[in-house]
Structure 1
Amino acid sequence: MNSIEIMVKEHENIRRMLKVIRKYCYKIMTCQEVDYDDLYKVIDFIRNYADKHHHGKEEDILFKVMSEKIERLSKNGAITGMYIEHDLGRLYISNLELALEDFKKGNDEKRLDIIANFISYTDLLERHIEKENTAIYKFAENILPEESKAFIEKECSTIENSAMENGLQEKYISLLQLLEEKYI
């Protein structure tokens, strides 16, 4: 499935950002100079590339179809777990943003919350991506009926084409490269 291949590639890009985040947190922890405004760029990447674009395709298309067509995944909670982990990631990023705002107002101790939420996010996403790549996506490719696969391909293709026309991939891959050069 081409849509699965694209989602795996997006996972690779998200993992690259997770490495940037860890390096950034290490610099904060060791009192090295960092540009705290770069956190807003990372948050933008996470919210718009990882969550809205990537997770949107998973939640609105792939997981929805899988829940409808693969009863055992629906009943054993595998798909529900993916939704829960997406929501937990959103919570970490919301908490991170609040900590960043408080830090910028002069609460130096909020650096701890920035690190804690970012590291929690990276740990969650690393494990989450592994489950999707090695289990959820494989189930989709191997068990879904052909008409369901065709529907997923069509819907994901529409989203990808729209994102391409709007320059979404180019924008966020360029941002990722910029932050890698700066922090890795």
Structure 2
Amino acid sequence: MSATNTLRNDHKQIKRLDKIISKCSSDINAGKTIPFSDLEKITLIISEFLDSIHYSREEDSYFPCVASYDHLKKEIRALLIEHEFSRRIASKITLHLKRWKNGEDSSEPVTRFLRTYSIYLNDHISKEEDFLERAEKEILSKEEEKEMFEQFQSDMAITQKLESIVKELDYLENQPWFKTS
């Protein structure tokens, strides 16, 4: 296994999350009920997985390693800006979900920001996949890949958190609202 493949595996889970977010947004927009507990799970996965694990792997290890070769810096900067955009959308989802849960009619902004987040994920993951392909082929050595992979794996708390997130995705994909067309 390599650091690049680890990030690609993260992307597989992110694509699962995207399908859940997209379905959730469409259903709320259509007037269907999604349990607040499921919506809160989605926001937790966004913050715990995307921000705390995936973006952290990229921002703290992968991007600096690639940038040390003075290559793909423009692409890295663009991806970092998108990560910040992601955090801002996620905070808006959380804010409006709290307002909605407290009795305010905030379903529309929750739906809008979920849809925006889904659009963002599709676009961003596509760009990251292209970036990973280039970094793997043009820049990173096998030793660097292995070293970063070992660094990713060394934190047992993150490994356990990732396992928990995969179970949460499984749970959400098995909810009646997700399974219906």
TM norm. shorter chain > 0.5: yes
Letter of the 2:147 partner, please give it. Answer: K
1:86-106 Cα offsets, whole Å, 9 max, x none, are 110100000111101111222
CA distance in 2, matches of 1:27, 1:162: 37
Map Cα deviations across residues 9-40 of structure 1 (whole Å, 9 max, x no partner).
11011111110111111221111121012121
1-side partners of 2:158 and 2:20: how far apart?
A: 27
In 2, Cα distance between equivalents of 1:54 and 1:29: 29
Which of residues 115, 118, 137 in structure 1 aligns to 2:114?
A: 118
Tell me whether 1:162 sits opposite 2:159 in the alignment: no
TM-superposed deviation, 1:155: 3.1
Q: Please name the residue that 1:54 is paired with.
A: 54
* Other-structure match for 1:35: 35
Structure-2 separation of matches of 1:33 and 1:142: 46
Q: Is the 8 A contact 1:85 1:128 kept in 2?
A: yes
Distance 2:86 2:61 in 1: 19
Residues 68 and 32 (structure 1 numbering): CA distance in 2 closer, same or farther, change over 3 Å?
Answer: same
> 2:62 touches 2:148 (CA, 8 Å); kept in 1?
no
Q: Is residue 115 of structure 2 the alignment partner of residue 130 of structure 1?
A: no
Q: Which residue of 2 aligns with 1:82?
A: 79
The separation in 1 between residues aligned to 2:50 and 2:83, in whole angstroms, is 10
Is residue 163–residue 169 contact of structure 1 (8 Å, CA) maintained in 2? no
Q: Deviations over 1:61-84 (max 9, x none)?
A: 11112222133x22xx21100001
Report sequence identity in percent: 24
1:95 to 80, 84, 92: 92
Paired amino acid for 1:13: Q
Query: Structure 1 pair 81/66, CA: closer, same or farther in 2 (3 Å)?
Result: same
Moved over 6 A (4+): none
TM-score, normalization by structure 2: 0.90
Q: Which runs of 5+ in 2 are unaligned?
A: none
Corresponding residue number in structure 2 for 1:107: 104
Q: Which consecutive residues of structure 1, in runs of 5 or more, have no partner in the other structure?
A: none
Contact 1:57 1:156 (C-alpha < 8 Å) held by counterparts? no
> Counterparts of 1:52 and 1:106 in 2: how far apart (Å)?
30
Q: CA RMSD in A?
A: 1.8
